[in-house]
Amino acid sequence: MTNRSTVLITGASTGIGATYADRFARRGHDLVLVARDKARLQALAARLRADTGAGVDILPADLTQPGDLAAVEARLREDARIDTLINNAGAALSGPFTEQPTEAVARLVALNTTAPVRLASAIAPRLVQAGTGAIVNIGSVVGLAPEFGMSVYGATKAFVLFLSQGLSLELTPKGVYVQAVLPAGTRTEIWERAGIDASAMPELMEVGALVDAALVGFDRREGVTIPPLHDAAHWHALDAARQALVGDLRQAQVAQRYRAAA
Ligand code: NAP
C-alpha cells in the first residue's frame, strides 16, 4: 500500500463492489477489498495491482459475524489512509415472508443494515475530524416500493436510504460527503444467490453502466443517485411531498378525522 487515498469496499469479490474496485483503482486510489471469498478477492487484487499499479489489500470477512465485522470496523477506525467507505455488500431474499426462515430474515437484516451502519459509525468520527471523506451506501429502488413484493429486502434498503439522508444532513456541513445509490435490476450474481432466475427478468442494467452512472452522481456530490430513474423530477416531487407532509404535522393536536363524532 502507498500513502494514496484509500477506498474500502465491502462486497468487493464480484458484481457492483468488484466494479467499484476497478473504477477506483483506475482513478488512482488504493483499495481495501472486503468479502467472504478470499480466493476471489486475491484474484481481483492481483489483477488490479497488475493493471493499474494500485495498492490493494484484502480483508476477508463475513459481515454477519460480529468478530469479522469488528475487524473491519477496527481497520476503518485505525487506518488514516482510508477516506472513502463503499457500503455495498448485500443480499436479497426471494419468496413470500411467511416462507422465509426467520434465521434467513435475521441474517439479511444483519448484512444489509447492521453491517453498513456499524461500518459508517466506525469511520465517520475520523472523517469528521479530518473534515473530508465520503461514505457511499448502496440501497435499491426496492426500498421505495413495497409493491415490488420483497418486504424484508425492501425494508433494509429503505433503512439504507434514510440513514444516508440523515447522515448527509449531519456530516455534509462537516466536510464529509454521503451518497445513497439506488440501483434497479442489475446483471450480477445477486439473483442466482437469492434463487431467482435472472433470465426471466424482462430487462437488467449492465453492472459497468450502473457503477459509472453512480460515479457521475458521486463526482457531482449528489445525495441520492438513482441511475435507472429517467426523469429526476419524480424524485424531487416525492421529496417535496414528504417535506410538505412533515410541515403539516401538529404535535399537540389530533387531526380532525380522528376526533370522535360530537
Ligand atoms: P452480488 O453480485 O451477489 O455481490 C454481493 C457481494 O456481497 C459479493 O462480493 C459477496 O461476496 C458480498 N457478500 C455477500 N454476503 C456477504 C457477507 N455475509 N459478508 C461479506 N460480504 C458478503 O450482488 P450485487 O448485485 O453486486 O449487490 C451489491 C449491492 O447492490 C447489494 O447491497 C445489493 O442489495 C445492491 N443492489 C443490487 C441490485 C441488483 O439488481 N444487482 C439492485 C439493487 C441493489 P462473498 O460471497 O465473497 O462474501
Q: What is the pLDDT of residue 4?
A: 87
Q: What is the pLDDT of residue 197?
A: 85
Q: Is the model's pLDDT at 146 over the cut of 60?
A: yes
Q: Is the model's pLDDT at 67 over the cut of 80?
A: yes
Residue whose CB lies within 8 A of the most ligand 1 atoms, among 41, 148, 188, 206, for a mutation test: 188
Q: What is the pTM of this model?
A: 0.97
Q: What is 104-146 written as a DSSP string?
A: HHHHHHIIIIIHHHHHHHHHHHHHHHHT--EEEEE--GGGG-G
Give the atom of ligand 1 at the shortest distance from the alpha carbon of 92.
34
> 111 pLDDT band (50/70/90 cuts)?
very high
CA–CA gap between residue 84 and residue 94 (Å, rounded): 31
| Known active-site residue 20 | no
**Amino acid identity at 161:** L
Across residues 76-101, what is the average pLDDT? Answer: 97
Q: Is the model's pLDDT at 3 over the cut of 90?
A: no
Which residue among 20, 153, 177, 258 is the active-site one?
Answer: 153
CA–CA gap between residue 231 and residue 156 (Å, rounded): 25
208 Cα–ligand 1 center, Å: 15
> 198 pLDDT band (50/70/90 cuts)?
confident
Q: Are 111 and 91 in contact (CB under 8 A)?
A: yes
Give the atom of ligand 1 at the shortest distance from the alpha carbon of 65.
18
Q: What is the pLDDT of residue 75?
A: 98
Where are the domains positioned within the chain? 6-231
Q: Is the model's pLDDT at 2 over the cut of 80?
A: no
Q: Is the model's pLDDT at 22 over the cut of 70?
A: yes
CA–CA gap between residue 116 and residue 83 (Å, rounded): 16
Q: What is the pLDDT of residue 141?
A: 98
Across residues 227-240, what is the average pLDDT? Answer: 98
Scanning the structure block, which residue is given the C-alpha cell 472523517?
Answer: 127
What tens digit of pLDDT does each residue of 214-226 get?
Answer: 999 999 999 999 9
Given phi > 0 = left and psi -120 to 50 = alpha, else beta, which region is 69?
alpha
Q: Is the model's pLDDT at 110 over the cut of 90?
A: yes
Q: What is the pLDDT of residue 1?
A: 57
Q: What is the pLDDT of residue 214?
A: 99
For domain 6-231, the CATH class is: alpha beta
Across residues 242-252, what is the average pLDDT? Answer: 96
What tens digit of pLDDT does each residue of 5-17 get?
Answer: 999 999 999 999 9
CA distances in angstroms from 39 to 19, 21, 43, 46, listed in the order given? 17, 16, 6, 11
88 Cα–ligand 1 center, Å: 7
Supply the mean pLDDT for the chain: 96
Across residues 207-212, what is the average pLDDT? Answer: 98
Across residues 154-181, what is the average pLDDT? Answer: 98
Q: Is the model's pLDDT at 80 over the cut of 90?
A: yes
Q: What is the pLDDT of residue 158?
A: 98
> 201 pLDDT band (50/70/90 cuts)?
confident
Q: What is the pLDDT of residue 227?
A: 98
